[in-house]
Amino acid sequence: MILSMAGQAWLFLSTLMVGAAIGLFYDVFRIFRKTARHSTLAVQLEDLLFWVAATGLTFYYMLHRNYGEIRVFAVVGVGIGLTLYLATISRLVVKIFVEIINYIKKVVAVAVKIILIPLKLVLSWLRPPIAKVYAAAHKQGMRAKRFCKQKARKTAREWGIMRKKV
Give the pLDDT of residue 1: 57
CB 23, CB 81: distance < 8 Å: yes
Alpha-carbon distance of 44 to 50, in angstroms, equals 10
Burial class (CB in 10 A: 0-12, 13-18, 19+), 93: middle
Buried b (16+ CB within 10 A) or exposed e, 156-166: eeeeeeeeeee
Task: Return contacts of 47-52, CB within 8 angstroms, 24+ apart.
Answer: 50/25, 50/26
CB 57, CB 18: distance < 8 Å: yes
Averaged over 60-84, what is the pLDDT? 87
Per-residue pLDDT tens for 30-41?
A: 999 999 888 999
SS3 117: helix
Kindly indicate the confidence band of residue 62, based on its pLDDT and cuts at 50, 70 and 90: confident
Count of residues for the chain?
Answer: 166
Per-residue pLDDT tens for 41-53?
A: 999 999 999 999 9
Alpha-carbon distance of 67 to 72, in angstroms, equals 14
Alpha-carbon distance of 67 to 70, in angstroms, equals 9
Kindly indicate the confidence band of residue 95, based on its pLDDT and cuts at 50, 70 and 90: very high
Taking the domains of the chain in order of start, what are their residue ranges? 5-88
